[in-house]
Amino acid sequence: MKKLVLGLAILATTFTGCSSDDDGDTTRVPATGEITGDITSNIVYGYGNYTLKGIVKIQSGVTVTFEAGSTITADKANGDDALVVLNGGKLIAAGTASEPIVFTEASKVPGSWAGIIMYGDAPIVNSASAPAPQTAASEDGLTLTYGGSNSAHNGGTLKYVRVEYAGQVITQNNKEHNGFSFYSVGSGTTLENLVSYMGNDDGFEFYGGTVSAKNLISYGNKDDSFDWQDGWRGQANTNWYAYQTGTANYGIEVEAKSVNNAFWPIINGITLKRAAGTVTEAQSEVQLDAFQFKKEGNGEYNNIIIDGFKNQTSPTAKNGGAIQILDLATYNNQVAAGKIKLTNVKITNTDNDFISGAGTFTMSASSFNPTANWTTSTTATGANLTTGAWCTVNGVNLFQ
């Protein structure tokens, strides 16, 4: 045991940068190193610049810590790269507003790596008939089982972390990745001040679970800014900001695997912006919406700004709108039953307030029951974020 402890201490020291010279200069010298393979023992990566090579997995029972200000760079030229936190493992990445922890990719091309993937055993729902606890297989190519009954699952702490150029899509709906992918992550996990920048799929995706997230920025991601399924039910979410530019689909895509749930997420303070000229990723997409509800998706959303979701005229004509209800079941069971609540909503520069996706019903403000489940406002403030290095890339403040 003593030899093991000593070995781990030496290993941790290896990744800690030096900090002073004979003249008392306290400038930190960043450590360097390569991160690869399965991580099977606790380790602290001191402030530094590291290379991420391959599918790196933090094993169950293992805690990996990155110090503030560190940069971890993947390189698609070496093959598939990802940082995966397996169920029972923990990732502690606690940056600061001035010294964020940045996960990036050498080529700076969207979709070049798989981002951060975290697994837990918090509850999910993916079938109306199966008894709880339910499980499912991941869609990231690892085909790992997620789900369970541990609502308080703790996958660690992510604060002031930025993921860049992720969202690798290898096979549609079979091997897909996002900036951040949270598979049945529990409420014991801390997610605060996170940025998903210029990815090729969703910025953030929640696959069930009970975790909540505060102060999120999804910028320039080519699919949805925020997405979830499997009955995600985080209750303490605040300050979500999305800016779509160039190519993008939905601001927030909400679904629950066609299960009419008695629970839902709550988010307060949302800003969804779409730059002029932004077009849908795939012309097969039905419409261009700030919110799309489908497959029994629901939730409570308050203090919302929606801006720029205009109609698309080319290459294919698409309607743009604030709210789309895609299917009749979601309309009947979620809208009419009062399980979708959008209050204090400010809509600007958007061609349609409501879109009826299925064509068998007509959405309007009167569709909500009671009418208090839909209220508009001219004074909504949306996401309230503090700027800093954590949300600045190449001199551009992402929170516009």
Average pLDDT per 10 consecutive residues for the chain, totaling 400 residues: 37 48 68 98 98 97 98 95 97 98 98 97 95 94 96 98 90 76 98 98 97 98 97 98 96 97 96 94 72 97 97 85 95 96 98 88 92 95 98 94
Contact 228, 184 (CB under 8 A): no
Instruction: Report if pTM > 0.85.
Output: yes
Q: Tell me the two tokens of residue 173.
A: 């709906």
pLDDT at 3: 35
For residue 21, the model assigns a pLDDT of 46
The pLDDT of residue 22: 47
**Cα–Cα distance for residue pair 147/158, rounded to 1 Å:** 21
**pLDDT of the residue at 283:** 54
End-to-end CA distance of the chain: 53
Q: Is the dihedral of CA 258, 260, 261, 264 positive or negative?
A: positive
How many Cα atoms within 13 Å fall on the side-chain side of residue 317? 0
Nearest to 342 by CA among 265, 260, 256: 265
So where are the chain's domains?
A: 34-397
> Which residues make beta-bridge pairs with 387?
none
How far, in Å, CA of 82 to CA of 54, rounded?
Answer: 6
Place of tokens 């951040």: 180
pLDDT of residue 360: 82
pLDDT of residue 97: 98
